[in-house]
Amino acid sequence: MSFKSIVRELKEMRDGIGSLSRRSAESKHWHSRVKSHVVPDVTLNPLEPVQQGQWAHLPPELLLDIIRRVEESETSWPARTVVVSCASVCKSWRAVTKEIVNTPEQCGRLTFPISLKQPGPRESPIQCFIRRNRETSTYLLYFGLVPSENGTDKLLLAAKKIRRATGIDFVISLVANDFSRSSNTYVGKLRSNFLGTKFTICDNQSPHQAGTQPNGRSSKRFHTKQASPRVSAGNYTVGTIAYELNVLRTRGPRRMNCTMTSIPVSAIQEGGTAPTLTSLPQIIDEQFPLSPSLKGKAPIVDVSSTSLLELPVQSQGLVEPLVLKNKAPRWHEQLQCWCLNFKGRVTVASVKNFQLVAAVDPSHNLSTAEQEKVILQFGKIGKDIFTMDYRYPLSAFQAFAICLSSFDTKPACE
Amino acid sequence: MSGISDTERMITLKTVEGTLFDVKSSIAKDLKTVQAFIDDSDDDVTSPIPLPNVFTRELSRILDYLNNHHRFRSGIEKADEEMARYDAEFAKSMSHEELKALILAANYLNVKDLLEFLNQTVADVIQNKSVEFVRNFFGIENDYTPEEEEKLRNENEWAFNGVEQD
């Protein structure tokens, strides 16, 4: 390589353009004059250089373009499975795909299982529905507004209610036919106390995973200090839910308070972020450049979304957690009932229906708009069918767990 | 922008096999790699420009594509439909191997529009395909160990869960 071309390449890398694989040019003339082809009009994270042998002659920037096109055109399920397939082809493809796919917070789309543990979008909620099966005591969470006519809905999570001597457990899994805690599909559980007035949300992995970062650097250094992401049978409390009797002791709505211990209240304040996991414990997500000799040259460019990277180690005691409370319904004199505006997403009256907003006081400095944002909404639309709409800073997993608590209605609360 | 003489100038390109192609300079402009070479040359380029990595079959297809697209663009309004039909036929006429070879050639020659079209075609091809198909298509070796694959399977199972497969 001539000196000129090395300088040019480094310059281009610095500017965030992947520049590689001009190995084909033999003539000196060509090499010093040819500019690398770059996919225009796309803001990309520069791709880490990868070993040539693995690409079978396809330059990485082309591969990136192809995978990006696949990801962009298949945004809804079931077609989105192809993105997951791309991530399984080989390690480099996995790295590329994971780089391209944005978190639900950024793009409003669910792609990998880990998407279920990442916060939803800030502006408009992700809409799902839950189907209850009384016979098997299972609850299935699907993606979509309402059940589709042909029954082809994307299953997100499944829960099974298990009675214990001291209370009830809802075991949450990625699949509907396996609720074993030692299985790879186990993601967490909801545990209730005997009276069914207090619940604990348990995640099988620590919410503060300082693990892999997209640019692949430095995560190894932090690993030893953090709970290893490979612990699959872990039990981390990420939230608690408390139900209180309605003050009037009539058949009025009950009061809910959810303390999200894994989400700091700063997450909903201006400029705040919520902890965002990057991989499930059982899945290996190496995002290191494959060619160690090129590591030195690899540029570090900040990913535009900060929540993916910075997961500061917080000693839980010192950070004020986010508390959610249910919006108080209004008494409708004419209809003689309690009403909440579910914007059409809930159509059947039920004591289970609720809307959660942030419980803050003036010291939190939250704008009125932010205070009124419904972070989680849950309600009945038919026999055994309920809708669940959630948004930032909750994840699908947390939202589902909170909704499950609503199913465990106890006389003490009614 | 040097005027009329530009469009009449012909550039000669030579493929790996030694075949010569005479190309109008207006078409050559779309081969950005070639254009860069021309721009950088102090004198007028009169001898054939060698393309050490481009085969006759690919160059022929690329020039065909460019000639047609130039024709569509400079013609009447109906060109959009015709162009779409041409593009569809163009994509269909190639085997996967030929498609890959063409992408590499278009990438080397830096033919932006064609490359985007070809990449989209490939994206469409792998749309509903399995992981094995994608590996075969790109000639990629699976570098996961059996244990790692086992763990990845959960991810795939979840993705395909509850989704009807045709």
| pLDDT score at B78 | 65
CA distance A28 to chain B (A): 12
Cα–Cα distance measured from residue A400 to residue B65, given in angstroms and rounded to the nearest whole number: 53
10-residue mean pLDDT profile of chain A (414 residues): values are 50 43 36 42 32 50 86 83 87 86 90 92 93 94 89 90 91 91 89 89 79 35 37 76 73 82 88 83 49 33 33 53 88 83 87 89 85 92 94 94 85 46
- Residue A196, phi-psi category: left (phi > 0), alpha (psi -120 to 50), beta (remainder): left
Considering only residues 46 to 105 of chain B, which have any Cβ-Cβ distance to chain A shorter than 8 Å?
A: 50, 52-53, 100, 103-104
Cβ-nearest to A81 among B100, B142, B163: B163
Do A155 and B162 count as a contact with CB atoms less than 8 A apart?
yes
Cα–Cα distance measured from residue A341 to residue A355, given in angstroms and rounded to the nearest whole number: 9
Residues of chain A contacting B58 with CB distance shorter than 8 Å? none
Considering only residues 113 to 152 of chain B, which have any Cβ-Cβ distance to chain A shorter than 8 Å?
A: 115-116, 119-120, 122-124, 126-131, 134-135, 138-144, 148, 151-152
Do B107 and A90 count as a contact with CB atoms less than 8 A apart?
no
Residues of chain B contacting A54 with CB distance shorter than 8 Å? 140-141, 143
| pLDDT score at A49 | 33
| pLDDT score at A19 | 35
- Whether residue A362 is preceded by a cis peptide bond, meaning omega within 30 degrees of 0, is no
Spatial CA neighbour of B57 closest among B65, B69, B46: B65
| pLDDT score at A242 | 92
In DSSP notation, A140-204 reads: EEEESSS--TT---EEEEEEEEEEETTEEEEEEESSTT---TTSTTEEEEEEE-TTSSEEEEEES
CA distance A56 to chain B (A): 6
Start-to-end CA span in chain B (Å): 55
| pLDDT score at A285 | 58
List CB contacts of B17: < 8 A, sequence separation 6 or more.
Answer: B55, B56
Spatial CA neighbour of A402 closest among A355, A351, A332: A355
Cβ-nearest to A184 among B138, B139, B154: B154
In this structure, are residues A202 and A187 in contact, taking their beta carbons and an 8 Å threshold? no
Give the pair of three-digit tokens for residue A52. Answer: 């040539």
Enter the pTM of the model: 0.73
Burial of A361 (0-12, 13-18, 19+ CB in 10 A): exposed
Cα–Cα distance measured from residue B157 to residue B166, given in angstroms and rounded to the nearest whole number: 16
Do B158 and A174 count as a contact with CB atoms less than 8 A apart?
yes
Q: Within its chain, how far is the Cα of A101 from the centroid?
A: 12
Residue A293: count of CB within 10 angstroms of its CB: 9
In this structure, are residues B127 and A82 in contact, taking their beta carbons and an 8 Å threshold? yes
Q: Which amino acid is at A5?
A: S
Q: Which amino acid is at A321?
A: P
Cα–Cα distance measured from residue B63 to residue B27, given in angstroms and rounded to the nearest whole number: 8
Residues of chain B contacting A26 with CB distance shorter than 8 Å? 52
Cα–Cα distance measured from residue A144 to residue A142, given in angstroms and rounded to the nearest whole number: 6
Do B162 and A40 count as a contact with CB atoms less than 8 A apart?
no
Cβ-nearest to A84 among B107, B122, B155: B155
CA distance A285 to chain B (A): 10
In this structure, are residues A276 and A103 in contact, taking their beta carbons and an 8 Å threshold? yes
Cα–Cα distance measured from residue B120 to residue A162, given in angstroms and rounded to the nearest whole number: 49
Number of H helices, E strands in chain A: 9, 14
Q: Give A14-21 contacts, CB < 8 A, sequence gap 24+.
A: A14/A299, A16/A44, A16/A45, A16/A46, A16/A299, A16/A301, A17/A46, A18/A44, A18/A46, A18/A47, A18/A60, A18/A61, A18/A64, A19/A61, A20/A49, A20/A59, A20/A60, A20/A61, A21/A52, A21/A59, A21/A60, A21/A61
- What is the DSSP pairing of strand A376-382 with strand A236-244? unpaired
Supply angle C-alpha A325, A328, A333, rounded to 5. 170
Do A90 and B144 count as a contact with CB atoms less than 8 A apart?
yes
| pLDDT score at B151 | 80
Q: Nearest 10 degrees: CA dihedral of B138, B140, B146, B150? A: -30
Cα–Cα distance measured from residue A384 to residue A298, given in angstroms and rounded to the nearest whole number: 53
- DSSP label at residue A205: S
Dihedral of alpha carbons A304, A306, A307, A310, sign: positive
- List pLDDT tens digits, range B29-87: 999 999 988 888 877 778 889 998 899 999 999 999 999 998 888 876 667 888 889 99
pLDDT band at B13 (very low <50, low <70, confident <90, very high): very high
In DSSP notation, B10-52 reads: EEEEE-TT--EEEEEHHHHTTSHHHHHHHHH-SS---SPEE-T
Residue A325: count of CB within 10 angstroms of its CB: 17
Cα–Cα distance measured from residue A135 to residue A155, given in angstroms and rounded to the nearest whole number: 19
| pLDDT score at B75 | 74
Scanning every residue of chain A, which has its alpha carbon at the shortest distance from the alpha carbon of B161?
A: A155
- What is the DSSP pairing of strand B49-50 with strand B20-24? unpaired
| pLDDT score at A143 | 92
Residues of chain B contacting A25 with CB distance shorter than 8 Å? 52-53, 108
Please tell me whether residue A129 adopts helix, strand or coil conformation. strand
Q: Give A143-147 contacts, CB < 8 A, sequence gap 24+.
A: A143/A77, A143/A110, A145/A345, A145/A387, A146/A381, A146/A385, A146/A387, A147/A385
CA distance A67 to chain B (A): 7
B29-56: burial string, b at 16+ Cβ within 10 Å, e else: bbbbbbbebbeeeeeebeebbbbebbbe
| pLDDT score at A305 | 34
Residue to mutate among A74, A81, A150, with most B CBs inside 10 A, is A81
